[in-house]
């Protein structure tokens, strides 16, 4: 038997080390803030994994990351960058809200699938805008998706203080931008008394489906071909722009579905806003991208990666409560870990690059001899 090639583990180990380094910098900050980092990170572990409840919370937090992350895998494999997860989550949730509030008396068997489908469509719509802007108008998708995130936040606040506002508070002088509690029939199945909901299982199934789509179907093959080498793909007769648009529609749709799942699955079962998208998404639109990178841009790898990232976020929240540092610490730590994980990709991918180089070298050798 050949020796096991340890560099094979790089895509798993490197992000873990990077995340650990991020936590270390966070520990230094905690020291500077006068908190005990050991106590803080013990609270973090306890909060993320300490009990059945906290494990369930971790999975609930991981759920939107998984949806966004799997969508990110599709976009990346097709060579386009979708940073619009924030906006797509929100628009998906808005569509699902509209369905739940329109069919208030509908039974669960209708309301849940209809609402989730609406979220899927809403996300596809919002992702599709960026896709059309890219393929038809040649607008850089990084910029357009960032702008669309902000626009989605304003649309949400506008609707939540307007037509979608909770009717019981609509007459008050200061309008609280939130809807009424959605009808109970729209709630996803929940494993009481924990917060674990059916949307998490749906996310895992979707991840598996997208894996099949990308690696076992012709469409998936073409999506990856476009991402691998658009010129060669075009030469091979693949309509590159059509597949780029498809990638945007799909990755947006999954984020939108994630938004609908978050809305229907998690208490308070209502949409609310404090101005931007972040109050509803908690940056899941960005963190999901990092979860995908953590998972080597593979839908199945994104499942454990989202779980780990969810643990980090749940843990950071309980850390913040236990050692009493301002909640801004959680966002800071989040940013640090994003930077560290993204920056570490060079080591995670080194092996595959090397392998491609070796393959190239052997081809050249074969051709010259």
Partner 1 sequence: MISDLFSLNVLIGILTSGVRLATSYLYAAIGETFGQISGVLNLGVEGIMLVSAYAGYIVVLKTEDPWLGLLAAILVGMVMGVATAFISVTLKADQGISGIGVYLFGLGFSDLLFRVTVKSPQILKGFGDVAIPVLSDLPVIGHIFFNHNILVYGAFLLVPVAWFVLNRTTFGLKIRAVGQNPEAADSLGISVARMRYATLMIGGGLSGVAGASLSIALLNMFQQNITAGQGFIAVALVYFGAWKPYRVMLGCLLFSMVNALQLWIQTLGIPIPSDIALMMPYVLTIVALVFAARSVVTQPAALTKPFERGE
Write the CB contacts of 59 (distance below 8 Å, at least 6 apart in sequence). Answer: 196, 200, 307, 310
Residue from 335, 356, 361, 363 that binds partner 1 (CB under 8 A)? 335
Cβ proximity to partner 1: between 39 and 357 the closer is 357
C-alpha closest to that of 286 among 119, 85, 79, 82: 85
Task: Round to whole Å and give the CA distance between 45 and 312.
Answer: 9
Can residue 331 be called a binding residue for partner 1 (CB under 8 A)?
yes
Contact 317, 310 (CB under 8 A): no
Can residue 359 be called a binding residue for partner 1 (CB under 8 A)?
no
Q: If DSSP codes are grouped into helix, strand and coil, which group holds residue 192? A: coil
Segment interacting with partner 1, rule: CB under 8 A, options 41-49, 52-60, 148-156, 213-221? 148-156
In angstroms, how far is the first alpha carbon of the chain from the final one? 31
Rounded to a whole number of angstroms, the minimum distance from the CB of residue 334 to partner 1 is 5
One symbol per residue from 41 to 60: x for binding partner 1 (CB under 8 A), - otherwise; what is it?
--------------------
Residue from 163, 346, 363, 364 that binds partner 1 (CB under 8 A)? 346
The residues in 65-94 that bind partner 1, with binding defined as CB under 8 A, are 81, 83
Can residue 338 be called a binding residue for partner 1 (CB under 8 A)?
yes
C-alpha closest to that of 257 among 109, 93, 125: 93
Radius of gyration from C-alpha coordinates of the chain = 22
Cβ proximity to partner 1: between 104 and 229 the closer is 229
Task: Round to whole Å and give the CA distance between 71 and 128.
Answer: 13
Measured in whole angstroms, the distance separating CA 132 from the mean position of its chain's CA atoms is 22
Can residue 20 be called a binding residue for partner 1 (CB under 8 A)?
no
Residue from 44, 164, 319, 330 that binds partner 1 (CB under 8 A)? 330
Residue with tokens 């949400």: 156
C-alpha closest to that of 86 among 278, 327, 257: 278
Cβ proximity to partner 1: between 174 and 328 the closer is 328
Task: Round to whole Å and give the CA distance between 248 and 153.
Answer: 20
Rounded to a whole number of angstroms, the minimum distance from the CB of residue 286 to partner 1 is 5
Segment interacting with partner 1, rule: CB under 8 A, options 232-240, 255-263, 303-311, 324-332? 324-332
Contact 337, 90 (CB under 8 A): no
The residues in 110-129 that bind partner 1, with binding defined as CB under 8 A, are none
Cβ proximity to partner 1: between 82 and 186 the closer is 82
Query: Which residues contact partner 1 (rule: CB under 8 A)?
Result: 29, 33, 81, 83, 133, 137-140, 142-144, 146-148, 150-151, 154-155, 157-158, 161-162, 283, 286, 289-290, 293, 325-326, 328-339, 342-346
């Amino acid at each position: 038997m050949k020796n096991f090639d340890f560099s094979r583990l790089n895509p798993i180990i490197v992000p873990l080390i990077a995340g650990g380094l991020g936590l270390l910098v966070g520990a230094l900050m905690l020291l500077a803030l006068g908190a005990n980092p050991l106590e803080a990170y013990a609270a973090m572990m306890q909060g993320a994994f300490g009990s059945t409840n906290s494990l369930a919370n971790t999975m609930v937090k991981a759920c939107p990351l998984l949806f966004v992350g799997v969508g990110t895998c599709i976009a990346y494999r097709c060579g386009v960058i979708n940073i619009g997860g924030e906006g797509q989550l929100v628009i998906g949730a808005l569509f699902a809200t509209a369905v739940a509030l329109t069919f208030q008396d509908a039974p669960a068997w209708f309301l849940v699938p209809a609402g989730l489908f609406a979220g899927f469509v809403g996300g596809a719509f919002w992702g599709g805008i960026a896709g059309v802007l890219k393929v038809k108008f040649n607008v850089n998708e990084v910029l357009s998706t960032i702008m669309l995130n902000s626009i989605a936040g304003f649309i949400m606040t506008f609707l939540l203080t307007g037509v979608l506002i909770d009717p019981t508070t609509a007459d008050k002088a200061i309008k609280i931008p939130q809807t009424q509690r959605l009808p109970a029939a729209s709630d996803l199945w929940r494993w009481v008394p924990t917060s674990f909901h059916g949307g998490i299982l749906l996310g895992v199934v979707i991840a598996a489906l997208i894996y099949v789509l990308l690696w076992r179907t012709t469409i998936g093959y073409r999506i990856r071909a476009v991402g691998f080498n658009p010129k060669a793909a075009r030469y091979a007769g693949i309509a590159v722009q059509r597949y780029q648009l498809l990638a945007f529609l799909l990755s947006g749709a999954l984020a939108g579905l994630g938004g609908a799942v978050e809305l229907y699955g998690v208490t308070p079962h209502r949409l609310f806003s404090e101005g931007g998208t972040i109050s509803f998404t908690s940056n899941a639109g960005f963190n999901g991208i990092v979860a995908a990178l953590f998972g080597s841009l593979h839908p199945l790898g994104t499942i454990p990666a989202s779980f780990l990232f969810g643990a980090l976020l749940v843990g950071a929240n309980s850390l913040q409560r236990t050692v009493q540092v301002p909640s801004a610490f959680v966002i800071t730590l989040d940013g640090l870990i994003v930077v560290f994980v993204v920056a570490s990709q060079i080591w995670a991918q080194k092996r595959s690059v090397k392998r491609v180089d070796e393959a190239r070298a052997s081809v050249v050798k074969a051709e010259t001899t």
